[in-house]
Chain A
Amino acid sequence: QQQVKQSPQSLIVQKGGISIINCAYENTAFDYFPWYQQFPGKGPALLIAIRPDVSEKKEGRFTISFNKSAKQFSLHIMDSQPGDSATYFCAATAGSARQLTFGSGTQLTVLP
């Protein structure tokens, strides 16, 4: 059972545009929501993360919006650049082991 649902599966955006990736979760025990960026042949790299007591977090061009009541969160990439072309994974964690549950991933392509 997939506990974190991510959409869209793929996304094409023009340079300078806004990329939006959405995730929804079911497990109310999740208490930490990171986003990872992965380039081909590399491991995921932490991009930005949020805790459920905050509705928005911004770091540079990356913003997470969090809606606790709807159990949804999203990543916004402002002024998208070709170098942002990668696969993005949302994730959630809970429990003492802090295991990550990943979404299915979004392949972002930013056209020059």
Chain B
Amino acid sequence: GAVVSQHPSWVICKSGTSVKIECRSLDFQATTMFWYRQFPKQSLMLMATSNEGSKATYEQGVEKDKFLINHASLTLSTLTVTSAHPEDSSFYICSARERGTRGNQPQHFGDGTRLSIL
């Protein structure tokens, strides 16, 4: 089956540092990748949609300068949380949609990255 690998799975860092999270589709090409944020016992909130080779589209209220997204290839997207602060602590999850001709290709999710900012 389609596998999405997310790295790191857990990161703890000091306030003010930048953190990069990688999302890779291991056995398929992903034309589109999505980044979500999830707080404890809450649903997933879409942060941004990225298409390979183009700028990401951010959801309303998401600071594009704070959450930098790069989708340089069909198998890799990265999310960089710049100058992270404690309020950025959350569970970040990526997903990838398979390249295909049908519109309803499912999204496959990574296992998330738990970010804790001290």
**Any A CB within 8 A of the CB of B103:** yes
| CB-contacts of A83-112 with B (<8 A) | 89, 93, 96-100, 102-105, 107
Contact A97 B110 (CB under 8 A): no
Residue among A43, A46, A97, A99 making CB contact with B93, cutoff 8 Å: A43
Contact B32 A46 (CB under 8 A): no
User: Interface 1/0s, chain A 41-82, versus B by CB < 8 A?
Assistant: 111111001010000000000000000000000000000000
- State the majority secondary structure of interface residues on B: strand
Contact B43 A46 (CB under 8 A): no
Contact B108 A46 (CB under 8 A): yes
User: Interface 1/0s, chain B 3-44, versus A by CB < 8 A?
Assistant: 010100000000000000000000000001010000001111
**Distance between Cα atoms of A51 and B114 in the complex (Å):** 33
Contact B109 A44 (CB under 8 A): yes
Contacts A31-B104, A46-B107, A100-B46 aside, 9 further interface pairs with beta carbons under 8 A come to A42-B112, A43-B109, A43-B110, A49-B104, A98-B32, A100-B44, A104-B43, A105-B43, A107-B41
29 A-B pairs within 8 Å (CB atoms) are namely A31-B103, A31-B104, A32-B103, A32-B104, A41-B114, A43-B6, A43-B109, A43-B110, A43-B111, A43-B112, A44-B44, A44-B93, A45-B109, A49-B104, A89-B43, A89-B44, A96-B103, A97-B32, A97-B49, A98-B97, A98-B103, A99-B34, A99-B46, A100-B95, A102-B43, A102-B44, A105-B41, A105-B43, A107-B41
